[in-house]
Amino acid sequence: MSAIPAPSPLPRLDAITGLRWWAAFAVFFFHVRNLIPLPGPLAALAPLGNYGVTFFFVLSGFVLTWSWRASTDKRTFYWRRFARIYPLQLVTLVLALPVFYSFATDPEPSWVKTVNWGILLLCVFLLQGWSNDPQVLFAGNPAAWTLTVESFFYAVHPFITLVLKRLTQVGALVAAAGVVGFALAVRVALIAFPGSWLTNVPVPVMRLNEFVLGMCLAWAFRKGWIPRIPLAVPLGLLLVWFGMVVAGPRLELLTGMYGIVIPYGNEIATTLLALLIVSVASLDLRDRTRIMRSRPLVALGEWSYAFYLIHATFIYLALRLFGPQERGWTVALWFLAILGVSIGTAWLLHVTIERPAERFLRTWQAGRRAQTSTLTR
């Protein structure tokens, strides 16, 4: 490994932005199977697309800590996070309501919910993710439950940073290993005591380890840890893991191992995805990711938040209007059509809502603070 000083401001990691697109596409892949049947191997891989959310949680901790500045106070940090995620989530919530809700008492199809203003109010304030009831957790725009989790992460980030600031490079890496070990211990407890209080812990708390892992690794980077991990290593390990998950039940040779490791799937995936982020970030800092930093891929990464929030609405709109699609050559056309419409709308939302709203809110807050500062002199 090689050490580099942490300049101020720290460089942008555009290759990481490009990775965000692939994570969002994985989640799309997970959801689109509700509309169209996927062929054999793809159908087996599609459920693994859910790990795209895990990737986002680890990446969120990494990016926020990498870009953190000591001069930014908590109020400014929280306002910037609000400006970043809230305007677009509110717009996509409004767009999702006609697709996922009905005023009928027993709506059809089965995934359509009856309007409940109390639950929808929770969605407006991003509180739905604190319930383990699926009717609440996936209320409003179903994809937005992750924003409840992210909001919790944002709330605790400044306080966890106070601890990280005291750590050396080695201390941050030891902390990262401790986070992985703690997550495994919690999983062991959940398996050993299936009816314990742990099963009722809200999702934001249960997923906090993913965010903190990203934070610890980013702090190690800030302290000069730039490991030389070839990209083939995390990609190869992920392929082996995914192959085991898909083929394990069918291959007698892997059945025993499959039964042992599959309960720890989320912890294994979290660790491997963190390794992928570390590998790409280190390559980016050494200017070894020109393809991954290509403008089209970075642009898709920049649109990925809007894509993530809108894609399920289009999938279920098609499902509501046309029903599940049968096997045949039209399946590929449906896949491409939904993907294309989702990307196009994501771009439109990014340039007309997400980016202008964030810029306006940040400028407004900066102006207010400057005015307050002038008045108190």
Give mean pLDDT, residues 341-362: 97
Residue 325: pLDDT band (50, 70, 90) is confident
Residue in 1, 63, 4 with CA at minimum distance from that of residue 285:
4
Which of residues 26 and 374 earns the better pLDDT score?
26
Give mean pLDDT, residues 187-209: 92
Whether the predicted pLDDT of 330 surpasses 60: yes
In the structure encoding, which two tokens stand for residue 44, read together? Answer: 């087996």
Which of residues 282 and 11 earns the better pLDDT score?
282
pLDDT at 371: 77
Whether the predicted pLDDT of 377 surpasses 90: no
The 8-class DSSP code of residue 102 comes to E
Q: Are 141 and 309 in contact (CB under 8 A)?
A: yes
Residue 307: pLDDT band (50, 70, 90) is very high
Count Cβ neighbours within 10 Å for each residue of 78-88 and write b for 16 or more, e otherwise.
ebbbbbbbbbb
Q: What is the pTM of this model?
A: 0.92
Q: How far apart are CA 179 and CA 126, in angstroms?
A: 26
Whether the predicted pLDDT of 323 surpasses 80: yes
Whether the predicted pLDDT of 344 surpasses 90: yes
Query: Would you tell me the crossing angle of helices 295-322 and 330-349 to the nearest 10 degrees?
Result: 120
pLDDT at 360: 96
Q: What is the number of other CB atoms lying within 10 angstroms of the CB of residue 255?
A: 12
pLDDT at 376: 60
Whether the predicted pLDDT of 248 surpasses 80: no
At 156-191, the pLDDT tens digits run 999 999 999 999 999 999 999 999 999 999 999 998
Mean per-residue pLDDT of the chain:
90
Tell how far CA 288 is from the center of its chain.
25
Return left, alpha or beta for 140; rule: phi > 0 is left, psi -120 to 50 is alpha, else beta.
left
- CA–CA distance from 143 to each of 56, 104, 359 (Å)? 13, 23, 24
Q: How far apart are CA 354 and CA 15, in angstroms?
A: 21
At 7-45, the pLDDT tens digits run 456 788 889 999 999 999 999 999 999 999 888 778 888
Residue in 352, 277, 364, 369 with CA at minimum distance from that of residue 16:
277
Whether the predicted pLDDT of 101 surpasses 80: yes
pLDDT at 256: 60
pLDDT at 277: 97
